[in-house]
Chain A
């Protein structure tokens, strides 16, 4: 087309520009979590992990109900039974049904882990948020405290506390939470500090949003990702710590069962009855692996920038 000016005008038609149309959002708007959920669903390993975790969770809640045996009921005529139709996972040295004990133990382990995680979230988020929002001298003092706490090897302190406080579930939860919240506090503080200086917060401020609304509507929702991801790593580490304490003999004690107690009992008779160690070990490994994969998946899904 060398001479486009010669073209007759009636070949052209004025295009309709609809201003409303231009601003129309074709896709339904998604919250950050819906967005993350869509991304998470694409990660097959994470979805499988989530499924297995839900299954284990259901077994832990309902398993003992469906079993016709009580977790603490001894039967000295049927000790050390191998897995059979009557006792799916066999029986232990007191003739207690291992199936009932494993799911009861899983329930206790999960309970301890969730409770410890909740305490971590509560203390850690409050501490981190106050530190970041207050700023100045308050922040400086709070950070110095954290720097000192970080230096303390937590397991040693947990062991000491376990020895001093009366044995029980509550003690384990408290002992783990005393040192556990520090990491959460640091992450939340870092995230809020980062958000505080970002443009959308500035924009909200210019538009006249008050501080309360900025915290509730902008800062907290944007920190949820960090909190969720960190919790995904706190829970398995709490399960591990409980199992470890019970294994070296200062956690829960008989006839209570947790995965750690079961593994400890199984270890005592490993020589002759390896199944007593292997079944609870499989459950604990499954829980830890699934949380680890799900945690990684959530991190990729909720914070795509961190993806590697």
Chain B
């Protein structure tokens, strides 16, 4: 077990290093300078040189790379080219909370609605609610989240005027983005738990539980649900991906001041430092979540653990 975790941590660092390196050199290949090109070209050469020096852009690429790595180790992501005078770290952390709030609400909503629907669907197999859940599950993975967000904004926000259309302020502002973001997760949870439950309900121990006279509710909660809920851990990886990509579009649509919309803005304004910072931040977060999920799963399910040991 310890060996497995060590191996995973080693992979985590290798993957991160590759992403950082790829990001750095890709960014270096981008044409032009990150500065306002018109004003920059009108500056006297002396001033141009000073500006390049200030951001360390006058040094050879390899030196810049090593410096960037060194700074990263110390938690320094560099200075934003767009938000003058602010470090990328400050810019990111200044905008992280709306994203965290929306992301958490979306996961919780997805878990609550998705699991409930999936469990009922499996329990009442081939009933109306089962078909409803299946349709929802297919739609949830098929309708692009930016379409969901745009339609929610148009109908709920604009036409019916129930919730704020965009921007940030009160909690009410976070409701529509959270719902839009949770759509895919809800569908994935519902579909997954339904399949698991259908499988578990066929098992002999369910028949045993019924035979020994437990009532339906006890069979459902104590035996069926408990056994089918463990593997849900495995889809947390894909769900995180879904939420991360979703947040880029959803936050932009609802003008949420989070890191998703920050990413899109910095792409549009060529703020290389922020793009790199966010790429590394997102990647680190994603890799970390996947690692924790894998380790968690091997802790929960002894069969995986034994197989893992055999592998080595």
Q: Which residues of A contact B (CB under 8 A)?
A: 147-148, 151-153, 155-157, 159-161, 163-164, 236, 240, 243-244, 247-250, 263, 267, 270-271, 274, 277, 281, 284-285, 288-289, 292-293, 308
Instruction: Name the residue on A nearest B23 (C-beta).
Output: A160
Given A157-B22, A160-B22, A308-B198, A284-B248 contact (CB < 8 Å): no
- Secondary structure of the B side of the interface? helix
Could you tell me the distance in whole angstroms from the C-beta of B277 to the nearest C-beta in chain A?
A: 12
- Size of the B side of the interface (Cβ < 8 Å), in residues, is 45
Instruction: Name the residue on B nearest A278 (C-beta).
Output: B151
Instruction: Name the residue on A nearest B153 (C-beta).
Output: A270
Q: Once the chains are docked, how many angstroms separate the CA of A263 from the CA of B245?
A: 17
Instruction: Name the residue on A nearest B291 (C-beta).
Output: A151
Could you tell me the distance in whole angstroms from the C-beta of A262 to the nearest C-beta in chain B?
A: 11
Across the interface, B283 reaches (CB within 8 A) one of A152, A249, A308, namely A152
Proximity string of chain B (30-70) to chain A, C-beta cutoff 8 Å, 1 when within and 0 when not: 10000000000000000000000000000000000000000
Across the interface, A249 reaches (CB within 8 A) one of B144, B245, B264, namely B264
Pairwise interchain contact A151-B143, C-beta atoms closer than 8 A: no
Pairwise interchain contact B241-A243, C-beta atoms closer than 8 A: no
Pairwise interchain contact A153-B241, C-beta atoms closer than 8 A: yes
Q: Once the chains are docked, how many angstroms separate the CA of A91 from the CA of B154?
A: 20
Pairwise interchain contact A284-B138, C-beta atoms closer than 8 A: no
Q: Once the chains are docked, how many angstroms separate the CA of A156 from the CA of B286?
A: 11
Q: Which residues of B from 244 to 276 have beta carbons under 8 Å from A?
A: 244-245, 248-249, 252-253, 264, 267-268, 275
Pairwise interchain contact B282-A156, C-beta atoms closer than 8 A: yes
**Can you report 23 A-B residue pairs in the complex whose CB atoms are below 8 A from each other?**
A148-B15, A151-B286, A151-B290, A153-B244, A156-B19, A163-B30, A244-B245, A244-B249, A247-B144, A247-B146, A248-B248, A248-B252, A248-B264, A267-B150, A270-B154, A271-B158, A277-B147, A285-B139, A285-B142, A285-B143, A288-B141, A289-B142, A308-B195
Across the interface, A151 reaches (CB within 8 A) one of B154, B249, B287, namely B287
Could you tell me the distance in whole angstroms from the C-beta of A143 to the nearest C-beta in chain B?
A: 11
B212 on the interface (CB 8 Å rule)?
A: no
Interfacial chain B residues near A236, Cβ < 8 Å: 142
Q: Once the chains are docked, how many angstroms separate the CA of A243 from the CA of B150?
A: 14
With a 10 A CB-CB cut-off, give which of B19, B30, B153, B244 has the most chain A CB atoms: B19
Instruction: Name the residue on A nearest B165 (C-beta).
Output: A271
Interfacial chain A residues near B248, Cβ < 8 Å: 244, 248
Instruction: Name the residue on A nearest B195 (C-beta).
Output: A308
Given A153-B282, A248-B249, A270-B150, A147-B143 contact (CB < 8 Å): no
Q: Which residues of B from 194 to 224 have beta carbons under 8 Å from A?
A: 195, 198-199
Interface pairs A-B: 7 shortest CB-CB = A288-B142, A151-B15, A289-B142, A153-B286, A281-B147, A164-B26, A155-B245
Could you tell me the distance in whole angstroms from the C-beta of A289 to the nearest C-beta in chain B?
A: 4
Given A148-B18, A292-B142, A156-B279 contact (CB < 8 Å): yes
